[in-house]
Amino acid sequence: MKEEMENNKELESNLNENQEEKNAGEQVTESEAAKEIDETTQLRNTIEELQKQNEMLKDQLLRKAADFENYKRRIENDIISITKFANEDLIEKLLPIIDDFERFLEHSKKEDTANNAFYKGVELIYSKLIKLLELQGLKKIDCIGQQFDVNYHDALLVVPSNDPAIAANTIIQEVEKGYILNDKIIRHAKVIVAGESSSIQNNNQEGGAD
């Protein structure tokens, strides 16, 4: 009997030890599970933070790329502008010389120039000079018969016209040619403009006198 009781105690002791070991194992498992959950949460937070940084860096890269494109476009436009107008100062200084050529040729037309070698030589030089300047982008401003435009013309005088076919503000004479260099006006044309007819002006004056 005594031996049986001792066996029971030993069995109970073993069961208690097994239960304690089982409980300890469960505690370890729960601890490991909690640790894994914590590590997973930390990894998720780290990934989210890295994604935010990646989006921010991508946005900064796109902004820098856009800024660089704008800068490159601005530099290209500046280079084109400099190239187009590099000779502007020189061409402006050549315009009075062109005027002298044209005055000489116009004046010489009053004489017999058919067999005048000197006139032909000057005319040839003038033509070559004009062609060279046209290749650089120089163009004459249209005047005679055009409506006066302050953007292109400089009116020296307004002359009353008795010709009903000529409307008011029509350019009837060009005193000095105007020029455009690559769409930029470098000299306005000096012109004489038709005003109202003298008969209309006289009628207006007589009506005002009454």
Is 120's pLDDT higher than 50?
yes
For residue 111, what pLDDT is reported? 75
79 or 116, which is more confident?
Answer: 116
Is 11's pLDDT higher than 80?
no
List the strands of the sheet with 171-176, edge to edge: 153-160, 189-195, 171-176
For residue 180, what pLDDT is reported? 96
For residue 6, what pLDDT is reported? 60
For residue 115, what pLDDT is reported? 73
For residue 159, what pLDDT is reported? 92
Is 82's pLDDT higher than 90?
no
Q: What is the mean pLDDT of residues 108-120?
A: 78
Rg of the Cα trace of the chain? 49
Do the beta carbons of residue 122 and residue 104 sit within 8 Å?
A: yes
For residue 204, what pLDDT is reported? 44
Residue 188's contacts (CB-CB under 8 Å, 6 or more residues apart) are: 141, 152, 153, 154, 178
For residue 48, what pLDDT is reported? 87
| pLDDT band of 19, cuts 50, 70, 90 | low
Do the beta carbons of residue 175 and residue 190 sit within 8 Å?
A: yes
Q: What is the mean pLDDT of residues 154-174?
A: 90
For the chain, give the percent of residues with pLDDT over 70. Answer: 72
39 or 114, which is more confident?
Answer: 39
